[in-house]
């Protein structure tokens, strides 16, 4: 039987083969297969690129970690000192902050100048810098300047024995007069003018002079830019140190205030007592004068009366007496830095695509210990496609991820960090459909476990900039941010 259907004419102009329920003709299959293959190839290319970027990020972090350790231990190579310059400026660093505080950084320009007579060290430095240039996308400007200045220094050493270099030295003072004292921005502007002049092809242009000036200009521009970055790195370390000292001062002040409050409370401690012990107002009474012998006789007579009595009634107590309380008043609690941070962050307004999230699961929380405070947010997104492209009627928002900040004041100086885990109920498969799962935050010792019900989808933990994954416990706060991985379906 033929695979093609006969398409007879219809009076209404409709295509019989396109009616609902009819099979798609085979003559469209090769075209659709090519489109599917192209989409599949593009998807594989994106996945391969993401995997390569993630691998490069891992290699870069390992190199940086090794450089910091060698500098700290006093066995650094020249390239390690240059890595250390960038550490305070690195917003994506994964090296521990405490490691950076244990060594001083060196000026890159002075470092390269100190190697001017060591050609082998300069060549190794240039090769190492080119390796970082291909890996460190966030600081390519810095590494390109290092490569340019290192190669310039090597060329200067090689030109010492070149006879033609003697002629060049005659114009060196003129070049120095032009470039001396210029800032980085002024050198960039001058570079553009020199390139325009050299590319003009005019016979009136002294090509040798301006080419020599361009080489010197590029070297001085690299030095100026590296000096700028070095000063920024020093300033960043100073700012970080000041911020740390301010935080330490706040903690010390709170601790002293807590101790002073306890001391004042102990001094001003007032113990309640029975009001019957009050002596009342002092008044004047008239008493007869009694000698010592008469007083002793009266005392002996009263004692004899008491001895002969079988029952001595007790004096009635005052009914309006207040109960005796032997509990000192409790001083007001002083908030610690983590609680202050919680109050400050709770006042930050929500982002446009966020909503508060309080979907707790008490059955997964422990009953003992202190319940930690938290700030949880749902990150939403509008998924546009060809079916909902009308901006006047946008589709409903879909959940794209979550942000959790869990506050543990008692663990601010603890070596034990809280953790989290995913629990799937009833043997459900992970990342299947629109199922839900439980994320449980567990902390040692003082705190209860706290759990939330979230969507069970794959987290995007790739290295690209918009992944949004962040997990860190620092200063008593566990921060976990993640977005869901966008799924691409093949037809």
Q: Which long-range contacts (CB under 8 A, 24 or more apart) does 366-370 make?
A: 366/448, 366/449, 367/448, 368/448, 369/445, 369/446, 369/447, 369/448, 370/410, 370/446, 370/447, 370/448
Q: Which pLDDT belongs to residue 88?
A: 84
| 418 contacts 411 by C-beta, under 8 angstroms | yes
| 394 contacts 415 by C-beta, under 8 angstroms | no
The Cα–Cα gap between 236 and 228 comes to 12
Q: Where in the chain are the domains?
A: 47-246, 337-483
The Cα–Cα gap between 45 and 277 comes to 91
Q: Which pLDDT belongs to residue 402?
A: 94
Query: What is the DSSP secondary-structure string of 54-116?
Result: HHHHHHHHHHHHHHHHHHHTT---HHHHHHHHHGGG-TT--S-HHHHTTS----HHHHHHHTT
Q: Which pLDDT belongs to residue 451?
A: 92
Closest C-alpha among 414, 415, 413, 418 to residue 444:
418
Closest C-alpha among 423, 336, 414, 410 to residue 369:
410
Write the CA distances from 186 to 25, 146, 189, 199, integer angstroms: 68, 20, 5, 20
The Cα–Cα gap between 208 and 198 comes to 10
Query: pLDDT of the chain along its 491 residues, tens only?
Result: 444 444 444 555 555 445 455 555 545 566 676 777 777 777 777 766 666 666 777 888 888 888 888 888 788 889 999 998 888 887 655 554 455 555 678 899 999 988 888 888 899 999 999 999 888 888 888 999 999 999 988 888 776 555 555 555 677 788 888 888 888 889 888 888 888 888 887 777 778 888 888 888 888 899 999 999 999 888 888 888 888 888 888 888 888 887 777 666 566 655 555 666 665 566 666 777 778 888 888 888 887 777 666 555 555 555 454 444 445 445 445 457 778 888 888 888 888 888 889 888 888 877 677 888 999 999 888 776 666 666 666 777 788 899 999 998 888 777 788 899 998 887 777 776 667 889 999 987 778 899 999 988 888 887 776 777 888 888 889 999 998 887 665 55
Largest CA distance in the chain: 148
| 129 contacts 150 by C-beta, under 8 angstroms | yes
The Cα–Cα gap between 400 and 53 comes to 23
Q: Which pLDDT belongs to residue 435?
A: 77
Query: Order of strands across the sheet with 470-474?
Result: 354-356, 373-381, 398-407, 477-483, 470-474
Write the CA distances from 323 to 275, 277, 328, 447, integer angstroms: 9, 13, 14, 38
Q: Which pLDDT belongs to residue 425?
A: 83
Q: Which pLDDT belongs to residue 294?
A: 85
Sign of CA dihedral 423, 426, 427, 433: negative
| 332 contacts 261 by C-beta, under 8 angstroms | yes
| 115 contacts 153 by C-beta, under 8 angstroms | yes
Q: Which pLDDT belongs to residue 226?
A: 92
Q: Which pLDDT belongs to residue 138?
A: 86
Q: How far apart are the first and last CA of the chain?
A: 27
| 373 contacts 411 by C-beta, under 8 angstroms | no
Q: Which pLDDT belongs to residue 147?
A: 92
């Amino acid at each position: 039987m033929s695979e093609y259907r006969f398409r007879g004419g219809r009076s209404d102009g409709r295509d019989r083969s396109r009616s609902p329920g009819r099979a798609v003709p085979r003559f469209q299959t090769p075209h659709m297969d090519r489109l599917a293959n192209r989409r599949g190839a593009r998807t594989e290319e994106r996945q391969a690129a993401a995997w390569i970027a993630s691998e490069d990020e891992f290699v870069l972090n390992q190199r940086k970690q090794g450089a910091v350790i060698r500098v700290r231990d006093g066995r650094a190579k020249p390239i390690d000192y240059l890595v250390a310059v960038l550490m305070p400026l690195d917003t994506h660093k994964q090296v521990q902050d405490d490691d950076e505080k244990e060594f001083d950084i060196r000026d890159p320009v002075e470092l390269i100048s100190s190697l001017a007579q060591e050609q082998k060290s300069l060549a190794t430095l240039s090769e190492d810098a080119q390796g970082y240039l291909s890996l460190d996308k966030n600081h390519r400007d810095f590494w390109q300047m290092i490569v340019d200045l290192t190669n310039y220094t090597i060329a200067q050493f090689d030109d010492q024995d070149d006879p033609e270099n003697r002629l060049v030295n005659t114009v060196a003072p003129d070049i120095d007069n032009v470039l001396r004292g210029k800032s980085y921005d002024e050198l960039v502007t001058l570079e553009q003018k020199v390139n325009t002049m050299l590319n003009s092809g005019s016979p009136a242009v002294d090509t040798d002079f301006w080419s020599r000036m361009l080489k010197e200009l590029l070297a001085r521009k690299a030095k100026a830019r590296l000096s700028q970055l070095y000063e920024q790195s020093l300033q960043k370390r100073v700012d970080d140190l000041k911020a740390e000292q301010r935080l330490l001062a706040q903690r010390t002040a709170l601790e002293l205030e807590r101790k002073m409050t306890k001391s004042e409370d102990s001094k001003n401690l007032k113990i309640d007592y029975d009001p019957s012990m009050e002596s009342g107002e002092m008044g004047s009474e008239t008493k007869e004068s009694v000698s010592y012998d008469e007083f002793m006789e009266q005392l002996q007579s009263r004692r004899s009366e008491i001895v002969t009595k079988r029952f001595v009634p007790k004096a009635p107590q005052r009914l309006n007496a207040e109960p005796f309380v032997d509990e000192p008043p409790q001083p007001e609690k002083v908030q610690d830095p983590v609680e202050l941070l919680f109050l400050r962050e709770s006042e930050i307004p929500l982002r446009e695509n966020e909503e508060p999230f309080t979907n707790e699961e008490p059955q997964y929380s422990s009953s003992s210990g202190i319940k930690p405070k938290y700030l949880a947010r749902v990150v939403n997104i509008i998924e546009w496609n060809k079916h909902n492209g009308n901006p006047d009627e946008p589709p409903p928002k879909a959940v794209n991820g979550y942000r959790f900040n869990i506050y543990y004041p008692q663990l601010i100086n603890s070596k034990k960090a809280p953790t989290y885990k995913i629990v799937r109920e009833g043997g459900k498969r992970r990342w299947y459909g629109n199922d839900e799962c439980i994320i449980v935050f567990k902390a040692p010792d003082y705190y209860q476990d706290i759990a939330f019900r979230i969507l069970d989808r794959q987290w995007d933990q790739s290295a690209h900039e918009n992944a949004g994954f962040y997990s860190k416990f620092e200063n008593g706060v566990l921060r976990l941010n993640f977005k869901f991985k966008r799924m691409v379906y093949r037809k």
